Structure 1
Amino acid sequence: MSPLGETPAKFLTAEEAAVHLGCLNSRTVSRWAREGYLPAYALGEGKRRLWRFLLTDLDAWMRARRTVTA
């Protein structure tokens, strides 16, 4: 727990995010982050940029795209 009693945010790598989202490839997750389709945080610049993903952001992103079937 953090000093304020809150659970610290859980950041995922592109590989971990791909597993969490059920994607086949972490490169897809990185491309979606680069294109702004997926909520992500960029670390560094240029071609060597790393992407990190908040677990709560990914869950909210999936809920927003859920289709309801009748």
Structure 2
Amino acid sequence: MINYKFLLIGVVFIIAGIIPIVRNKFYRLKEKDMLWATSLGSFLSAIVVLLFGLAVLIYEISKLLSNK
């Protein structure tokens, strides 16, 4: 049985990861700029949040597909 709370949490984490990635514009900065280091930290933390959301979503979808 699929757990809709976890499915919703996965979607929320995916959205919470995508928004900072899109707003950050990390890819426009040069490596010599000091702002690059702080942007790298926020970019990587957004990637971790996004991957956590994807892991939860994939787990719930795999449970749904294995029950049929």
**Normalised-by-shorter TM-score class:** under 0.3
The structure with more strand, counted as a fraction of residues: 1
- Structure of greater relative contact order (alpha carbons < 8 Å, 6+ residues apart): 2
**TM-score, normalisation: structure 2:** 0.26
Report the structure number with the largest CA radius of gyration. 2
**TM-score, normalisation: structure 1:** 0.26
